Amino acid sequence: MKKQISIFLSICLLAGTVYAQKIKGSDTMLPLSQKEAESFMKKTPTAKLTVTGGGSGVGVAALIDGSTDICMSSRAMKMDEKLKMQDAGRAFKEVIVAYDALSVIVNPGNTVTQLTREQLEGIFTGKIKNWKEVGGADLAIVVYSRESSSGTYEFFKDHVMLKKNYAATVLSMASTGAIVQSVSQTKGAIGYVGMAYENNTVKALKVSFDKGKTFVAPSMETAKNKTYPITRPLYYYYLNSSEKLVKPYIDYVLSPEGQAVVKQTGYVPLN
């Protein structure tokens, strides 16, 4: 009798919420994962996914301490994080699920339309303080950045500033949405956001990584063909031990249907 009850309970559990899982991390990836999860749950009634942001570093930390099933990250996992995973005995897998263009945004009232990598470095390290130094109006530059737990902060520092430190005057924002809002409301402002966060309250600049020979604007096309220089992969990380739980969702995101969601949400699909 006990055995029959046990089998019955097992069947009930299997018929219930098989795919209950948490997805946490990158704010850049938040709109993408929310849409993917929504779409997946419509197809899979037994699935229950919760998606929260906080930054790539927060997502990795949650994967290490076991408080998330999938970590969203807008940068590759760092060596010290890999060592922490190893020390915790947590073997993991890395999957690229989409690409993203990192847009440099200014207030729409700003007359500047393009900047070189060197000029961006100067602005974010504090050497360039006024828009007139880069062909704009005589107006102080107000610089917004993500906070240090953000993968976008790390990526911009590594690839645009060539690992130089941000100026002490740079204003750190807790979310990408906060950067968009602040730049839209401040005439001399500049910041950087994932392309999917762009809207008509801010203006994206053309960027040059060849000392001003060619300037390219961020777009789906230029990110896909890699002519826009600030393009990056977006990652999901999960533990090997959680593979059975997370794989149906991961497979969905990588499927043609899931990749169509990538494009619809303003990110760059894999193919």
pLDDT digit string, tens, across residues 208-224: 999 999 999 999 999 99
pLDDT band at 6 (very low <50, low <70, confident <90, very high): very low
Predicted confidence at residue 241, as pLDDT, reads 95
pLDDT digit string, tens, across residues 45-58: 999 999 999 999 99
Does residue 232 carry a pLDDT above 80?
Answer: yes
Predicted confidence at residue 19, as pLDDT, reads 62
CATH of region 101-224: 3.40.190.10
pLDDT digit string, tens, across residues 9-22: 333 334 444 567 99
pLDDT digit string, tens, across residues 111-145: 999 999 999 999 999 999 999 999 999 999 999 99
Predicted confidence at residue 266, as pLDDT, reads 92
Predicted confidence at residue 18, as pLDDT, reads 57
Write the CB contacts of 114 (distance below 8 Å, at least 6 apart in sequence): 205, 206, 207, 208, 215
Does residue 271 carry a pLDDT above 90?
Answer: no
Mean pLDDT of 168-177: 95
2-98+234-264: CATH class: alpha beta
Mean pLDDT of 237-243: 96
Mean pLDDT of 136-160: 95
How far, in Å, are 43, 52, 198, 256 from residue 47 at the CA level?
Answer: 9, 16, 31, 20
Predicted confidence at residue 7, as pLDDT, reads 38
pLDDT band at 92 (very low <50, low <70, confident <90, very high): very high
Instruction: For residues 106 and 102, give the distance between their C-alpha atoms in angstroms, rounded to a whole number.
Output: 13
Answer yes or no: same fold for 2-98+234-264 and 101-224: yes
**HSE-up of residue 195 (Cα within 13 Å, Cβ side):** 29
Predicted confidence at residue 2, as pLDDT, reads 43
Burial of 159 (0-12, 13-18, 19+ CB in 10 A): middle
Does residue 76 carry a pLDDT above 50?
Answer: yes
Mean pLDDT of 217-233: 94
Of all residues in the chain, what percent carry a pLDDT higher than 70? 93
What does the domain layout of the chain look like in residue ranges?
2-98+234-264, 101-224
Contact 85, 64 (CB under 8 A): yes
Predicted confidence at residue 17, as pLDDT, reads 44
What does the mean pLDDT of the chain come to?
92
Mean pLDDT of 178-205: 96
Does residue 44 carry a pLDDT above 80?
Answer: yes
